[in-house]
Amino acid sequence: MSEPTKAPAPSGRAATKKELPEHFKSYRHVWVFVEQERGQVHPVSWELMGAGRKLADKLKVDLAAVVIGPQGEVSRQAAAEAFCYGADLAYVVADDLLADYRNEAYTKALTDIVNTFKPEILLLGATTLGRDLAGSVATTLLTGLTADCTELDVDPDGSLAATRPTFGGSLLCTIYTLNYRPQMATVRPRVMPMPERVARDPGRIVTHPLGLVEDDIVTKIRAFLPDRDSAKSNLAYADVVVAGGLGLGSPENFQLVRQLAAVLGADYGCSRPLVQKGWVTSDRQIGQTGKTIRPKLYIAAGISGAIQHRVGVDGADLIVAINTDKNAPIFDFAHVGIVTDAIRFLPALTEAFRARLSPHSRDRIAS
């Protein structure tokens, strides 16, 4: 299958586009929502700071971080860190009612601050939290939201051009929010590169009150149960990933992928059909409707390389594909292609690595 084609902008777009309403001019600057849970900032926030910096520079406006969280160190730290990833200023809504994510309270905090300071662009990570919040904020503000973008740019007229896959990933479409402000977009983790962190002193921090009391919030948190599933995948941020596809033929053969991953100290993943068949859990799916990964090394065994899989692995530094069909599409974008039976090859590869790699050198692969 070929690469997704970018649908041409309708030739009449410029002509049909209305003059921007006068009051749009009061909406300025690019904002990135800094997602934190219990003091842990989700790295997608910094990836978005990198993308937001480029948009802000093109528009010649400021890049602001928006931190919503409890009073004290957690929110202060998140705001301070945002400056190291390029923020010109930070808006902070800090209130102990915001210690754990609750849609109602976070929506109130974000919509209030948007209505007060009026950003032209607001970016959020397409995480579970970010998707939930972005949808309710866009609905409350009565503005447009483009979800799961793969590219963000600004047109010469200053509109946000938010590109995302459509028609099952075979087309890329660019969506504009012409008549409403702010222009909102979400981006999945690992779609944008992580910008370099540069140590900087915190700049201007603008605080904003929440204006809620506990009785105003319907959702109550009775207990917080940390996720104790140690087998849970960290695919999106893994340095080495081994994945299997339908070519492996059976769930038993998928163990070959897990064994190689274990020897390499890697994480493991799969193509979508394996999730649909119940061979592998959905948190392991790589691709358009699964995880986007950016490992240093990606080994794909028995995966054809359909476009919906490819978009999830395009950011890998080195792709090694093992497939019996020399014409498989994966060989169009793999850096190393091995035309062979993965079911016989994987155990041999695992043994070869096992023989050569000490635990110490496994760490080196990932560094």
Q: Which of 68, 260, 306, 349: binder of ligand FAD (CB under 6 A)? A: 306
Q: How far apart are CA 148 and CA 238, in angstroms?
A: 21
With binding defined as CB under 6 A, does residue 189 bind ligand FAD? no
Q: List residues bridging with 235 in a β-sheet.
A: none
Write down the least CB distance from residue 287 to ligand FAD, Å.
2
Q: Which of residues 59-98 bind ligand FAD (CB under 6 A)?
A: none
Write down the least CB distance from residue 237 to ligand FAD, Å.
18
Q: Which residue, 74 or 306, has its beta carbon nearer to ligand FAD?
A: 306
Q: How far apart are CA 190 and CA 287, in angstroms?
A: 12
Residue positions forming the annotated binding site? 271-272, 285-289, 302-309, 323
Write down the least CB distance from residue 301 to ligand FAD, Å.
6
Q: Which of 79, 210, 328, 334: binder of ligand FAD (CB under 6 A)? A: 328
Residues 272/305, Cβ–Cβ less than 8 Å: no
For tokens 């959702």, the residue is 219
Q: Which of 20, 59, 178, 246: binder of ligand FAD (CB under 6 A)? A: 246
Is 213 buried (19+), middle (13-18) or exposed (0-12) by CB count in 10 A?
exposed
Other Cβ atoms less than 10 A from the Cβ of 347: the count is 14
With binding defined as CB under 6 A, does residue 252 bind ligand FAD? no
Short-list 210, 279, 269, CA closest to 237: 269
Other Cβ atoms less than 10 A from the Cβ of 206: the count is 15
Specify the DSSP element, H or E, that contains 12: none
Q: Which residue, 30 or 293, has its beta carbon nearer to ligand FAD?
A: 293
Residue 126 Cα distances to 129, 191, 281, 291, angstroms: 8, 10, 20, 11
Q: Which of 45, 143, 146, 308: binder of ligand FAD (CB under 6 A)? A: 308
Q: Which residue, 195 or 245, has its beta carbon nearer to ligand FAD?
A: 245
Q: Which of residues 267-296 bind ligand FAD (CB under 6 A)?
A: 271-273, 285-290
Stretch that binds ligand FAD, among 51-59, 61-69, 200-208, 298-306 (CB under 6 A): 298-306
With binding defined as CB under 6 A, does residue 233 bind ligand FAD? no
User: Going by C-beta distance under 8 Å and a sequence separation of 6 or more, which residues neighbour residue 88?
Assistant: 56, 62, 63, 64, 203, 204
Binding mask 333-352 for ligand FAD (x = CB under 6 A): --------xxx---------
Binding site for ligand FAD (CB under 6 A): 168-169, 245-247, 271-273, 285-290, 302-304, 306, 308-309, 312, 322-325, 328, 341-343
